[in-house]
Structure 1
Amino acid sequence: MSDSTWSFSQTFASEFQTSRAELESRVDLVKAPITADALNTLSSDLAKLTKTLADATGSVPSYDQRQYELQLKSLEKSLENLRASLPKSKFAFKRKAPAASSSIPPSPVPRAVPDAASQQQLSSISTNPTLSSHSFRYLSRDSLPSASQASDLTISDLNSCIVNLLPAIDGKPLAEGGALEISALHIRNLTDTILLLPVIRGSVLLHDLRRCILVVGCHQFRMHTSTDVDVYLSIPSTPIIEHCSRIRFTSYPTALSPKETYSNFFSVQDFSHIKATPSPNWSAMPTDALVRRWPVSTISSEKELTDILDTLLPR
């Protein structure tokens, strides 16, 4: 992938997800029955977004393209459910009542209402969960809303935090209803923070990390404009960095994952260093710098939290 194609892909992802989230929010706020004009407006906006994605075919990664298409299909399903709630034709209200019951007002014509399964599906299509705007906090899966299906997760604007989204805490499974299946991660603007994340099937996109530790497994990994980050990574493909410095890579800690992990971290591609020589912006983490004891237990005091961060974070 060329540098220009990569830049387009990142810009497109940001603009597409913003437009998609705005349209999804408008659909979620609609109450049945919807008017024909409102439905036509939503359908038109969805068609424009679909065309935008079609025009970008070949310029965005195939995996991302499939994810975008699935998101649009979910929106189309929501609109189909709303379409089913449109009132029946007006002539149905003009039928004459029988003479014997002329004093009884005519009953309204029943409207087509989505069945229970459709209603459940519609209610499950909501704004993706976020973990944002925290300082000096220990954050676990209990800090997130529960989800009944795979969701993109956004983590942003954290300072001096430990985020533990592993599927168990202190070796104990999560309580019922606390599980969250993550399909993709969007991470931005973190400082002095440790992220303990599970192995997911989708992509991880990162921007603006400073002095952090990241533990994650994914299908695609892309990091931008970040400095002093230790990455413990499981990935079957080549991780990509751009406009980064002092990034160190090593494999995902086996102690934190019950699954088999990959260790393809020595073939990092640096789009800011397209040369035959080794990139000066990343390196393999030396053995003596590896974290041996991970903060997987809940931390209640700020002092304990800051002590752990001071001990573990890159210097």
Structure 2
Amino acid sequence: MSKLHQTQQNFYVHFRTQRAAIEALLATEPEQSSDARANLFAATESRLASLKNDVLNATAYLAPYDQRAYATQLDQLSASYDGLRTRLAPTSTEFSFSSRARNSQNSSSLHGPHEVQFTPPTSVHQIRNQRSKFVIAAMTAASTSLLLSGIEDCIVYVPQSARVGSIQVADCRDSVLVFDCVIEGPIHLTRVATSCVVVRSALQFRMHDSDDSDVLLGKDTKGAIIENSDELIFAQCRFDDTTMISVEPFEGTVDDFDHPAGASTSWSTIDEDSTTKFTENEYVEIIRLASDVQDGRLSEDALRIKHKVISRGFDFD
């Protein structure tokens, strides 16, 4: 099976799992209280919006027929939700999924009055199958989506000057990913292991099927979501306008779909016993090294930084 086929198959399984979760919500008979109905509406809307974003991001590697099939299923789910909302709150329009713009980036909803319309990115910048490299994603003005896949033993740097609508990462291990740009839409990471991910700003952060990794999110990044993941350390990273950062305990919330009703054991934030080794020094050094990369090779300094950042149990000299 080719890697493209495997990626498509993995997305099929992911979509089917998320669809089943939404269908379970749609089959729920809530209590008669307005709070119970509001919670059901909010949970269903959140799942629908997240799955819509997943499908939009997946247009980079889905065949047109598959895109239409997923879009049709989303349309059916949205119609079922509208029916549920009408039945439980026939006079309320407060929780309209099809008409309420959840944010400015998603104003062109997949759920239209007659059919679902996809608007694929005008240009997808793809970086695939990189091993032991210092990769700089030099996005062009026309590029709206970045797709990284098959990344191993690398440092990936996306500079502040890059213009990025959304980012998708699949199959990454033993690597340091620094997204120093403003991501206008979501960033979605799948199957990331023993790595460090730094995000300056994104509309939404999602991580699936990942483990043993550090996640540093800028304070402007919204909506952190994880699923089927374990041993993640979250920290908050404050950026200034130049090349300075500060790393602090995570102050936001992380929604773990595997623990919807209680505290998640899949992630923690930095404290005396749990910390991240990505600091201001590593940030400055990666920016410096990115300005003088030779043929994508990892210099000795870059290797030292990578080994230090992805290690948890011991320090490298």
TM-score by length of 2: 0.58
Structure 1 residue corresponding to 2:75, chosen from 54, 66, 76: 54
Matched residue, 1:312? 309
2:258 aligned partner: 272
1:33-52 counterparts in 2 under 5 A? 51-52=72-73
Query: Partner of 2:211 in structure 1?
Result: 227
Q: State the distance in 1 between where 2:185 and 2:193 align.
A: 23
Q: State which of 175, 186, 190 in structure 2 corresponds to 1:193.
A: 175
CA deviations over 1:204-257 (Å, ceiling 9, x no partner): 111111111111121211111111111111245441111111111111242576
Contact 1:191 1:211 in 2 (8 A): yes
Matches within 5 A, 1:285-304: 285-286=270-271, 289-290=276-277, 291-293=279-281, 294=283, 295-296=286-287, 297-298=289-290, 299-300=293-294, 301-304=297-300
C-alpha offsets along residues 57-84 of structure 1, whole Å, 9 cap, x if unaligned? Answer: 3589955864564994757xxxxxxxxx
SS of 1:201's partner is: strand
> Could you say which residue in structure 1 is the equivalent of 2:147?
154
Closer, same or farther in 2 for the Cα pair 1:257/1:23, shift >3 Å?
farther
Equivalent residue for 1:211? Answer: 194
Dislocated runs of 4+, deviation >6 Å: 6-12, 45-50, 256-264
- Aligned residues with identical type, % of pairs: 17
Q: What is the identity, as a one-letter code, of the residue corresponding to 1:220?
A: Q
The amino acid across from 2:253 in the alignment is S
TM-score, scaled relative to structure 1: 0.59
CA distance in 1, matches of 2:244, 2:147: 24
Matched, 1:4 2:21: yes
Which amino acid counterpart does residue 313 of structure 1 have in structure 2? I
User: Match of 2:309, as an amino acid?
Assistant: L
Could you report, residue by residue, the CA deviation over 1:238-284 in whole angstroms, capped at 9, with x for unpaired residues? 411111111111112425768999997442121222343x3221111
SS in 2 for 1:280: coil
Relative to 1, partners in 2 of residues 1:285 and 1:263: Cα closer, same or farther, differing over 3 Å?
closer
Aligned-residue CA RMSD in angstroms? 4.3
Q: Distance in 1 between matches of 2:63 and 2:261?
A: 42
SS at match of 1:312: helix
Structure with the larger RCO, 1 or 2 (CA within 8 Å, 6+ apart): 1
Please give the alpha-carbon distance, in whole angstroms, between the structure 1 residues aligned to 2:258 and 2:238. Answer: 28
Judge which range, 192-201 or 249-258, deviates more.
249-258
Tell me: CA distance 1:10–1:268, structure 2 relative to 1, closer, same or farther (3 Å): closer
The 2-side partners of 1:275 and 1:46 are apart by 33
Q: Which runs of 5+ in 2 are unaligned?
A: 1-17, 23-45, 82-96, 313-317
Say which SS state the counterpart of residue 194 (structure 2) adopts.
strand
- In the TM superposition, what is the alpha-carbon distance from 1:194 to its structure 2 partner? 0.9
Deviations 1:83-134 (A, max 9, x none): xxxxxxxxxxxxxxxxxxxxxxxxxxxxxxxxxxxxxxxxxx7441112210
Query: Aligned partners of 2:69 and 2:128: how far apart in 1?
Result: 30
